[in-house]
Amino acid sequence: MQNLSQTKEIQIAIFGLGFVGLTTAVGFASKGFKTIGYEIDTKKAKSLTCAKIPFFEEGLESSLKSVLGKNLFITNNLKEALKGSDVIFYCIGTPMSKNGSADLSYLCDAISQTLSHLHLCAPTPTLLIKSTIPPASSKEIIIPLIESFNLKVNNGTESHLFLANNPEFLREGFALDDFLHPDRILIGIENLPDTQILESIYKPFCAPIIFSNLNTAEFIKYLSNTTLSMCISYANEMSLIAQYIGDIDIIQAFNTLHKDKRFSGNPAKISQYIYPGLGFGGYCLPKDTLALYKKSSDKGFSPQILKSILDTNEKILEFYIQKITHENPKHSTIGILGLSFKPKSDDVRDSKSAMLIQRLLENGFSNIYAYDPIATHTFAQAYNLPIKYAQNLKEITQTCDILAIATGWQEFIPLLHNNHKKIYNLRWLQSLDKNTTLDKEPKN
């Protein structure tokens, strides 16, 4: 297609020049990297060499023109694309199959083609999957595929190549701007002796680089997308409830909802509510969610998302009860940390801690201690459970074999460093030694 003789310190190849692939290619080329865009469709590749894009994306065509033939080269020749490439991105579609699962056949074909010509690449190249693939796909499908070529992958210094997952978080209509100005860069990689090449290609984008294992990176992409789809469907379900009840101004209702300071991060971020834990309790959320579900059902519409919210709130508690009871003998001394329904409150109404303790007692665990920074006395009076109460954190940690963090008080965070106790971090508090950022306590 074009003369690929120009050299650059790091050479990047992009497989698949659709919405994601072309944006990625133009983005890296605009930062000065020699970038080879490989498109198997001859007609499409020829069109792209003339800077003609078969879809609309704001600013992409003009940016393509500015880098084409300078840092970006388009080809439909596999060998040209691979020759000397250090990093190979796969932006191949993973369409939905007839049974609803992701079809990875096109992606696997592209990877197989690469492996058959791996000798053309730079030594020990890194293959980065930008295609959206279900969690565990790299470990269950792609790594076995690579190993079937008698190649060592993600095996430290003995590796023939490395496989990484690098999800895209691009919005159609804003793709190039999102790529050039990312809020975070996620790379799933394992057993890579040196991340320098990955850090080097993303350094010009001035965004935090988050390294995780492969499964986590793949999961985060789906977590991101399904959070958005959940919000959209939730809003639609609420609009249906409003219409079944009648005489509700839906536009005004949602506009007023959006004025909640939590949507703008003040005083608490809405992201704190989108965080796993033991479920929601307290006076308002359980009764109000159930009441709206009942009202809507009485009006003829059964809201499935609200039903699922209520069901999941019970299932998550039951999951952890089963986990604790199955993993520990009944004579264990268990300490429950946190008794209020959320931090910085002494409200123990519909406390998940109370439900947890009651179920442990039912399962034959009688040596239970409990502690809360401010709600211990209130809890003891409200529930009258046959357990003991510690006066402070030191007492309960010294007394108990097992600790279960049931409310997300920040003073419990140092316990995550205690290697002498078995700790169930039921609120997923984050240890500050793992490059995590704590804004405030999660509210769930």
| Binding-site sequence positions for NAD(+) | 44, 94, 132, 172, 287, 349
Q: Which residue has the tokens 């690098």?
A: 166
Query: What does residue 22 show for φ and ψ, rounded to 5 degrees?
Result: -70, -40
**With contact defined as beta carbons under 8 Å apart, do 146 and 118 qualify?**
no
Q: Are 336 and 404 in contact (CB under 8 A)?
A: yes
Per the annotation, the verdict on 284 as an active-site residue is yes
Rounded distance between C-alpha atoms, residue 444 and residue 441, angstroms: 9
Annotated binding site: 44, 94, 132, 169-172, 221, 273-277, 281, 287, 342, 349
Among 50, 91, 284, 400, the active-site one is 284
Residues comprising the binding site for substrate?
Answer: 169-172, 221, 273-277, 281, 342
Question: Which residues are part of the catalytic machinery?
Answer: 284
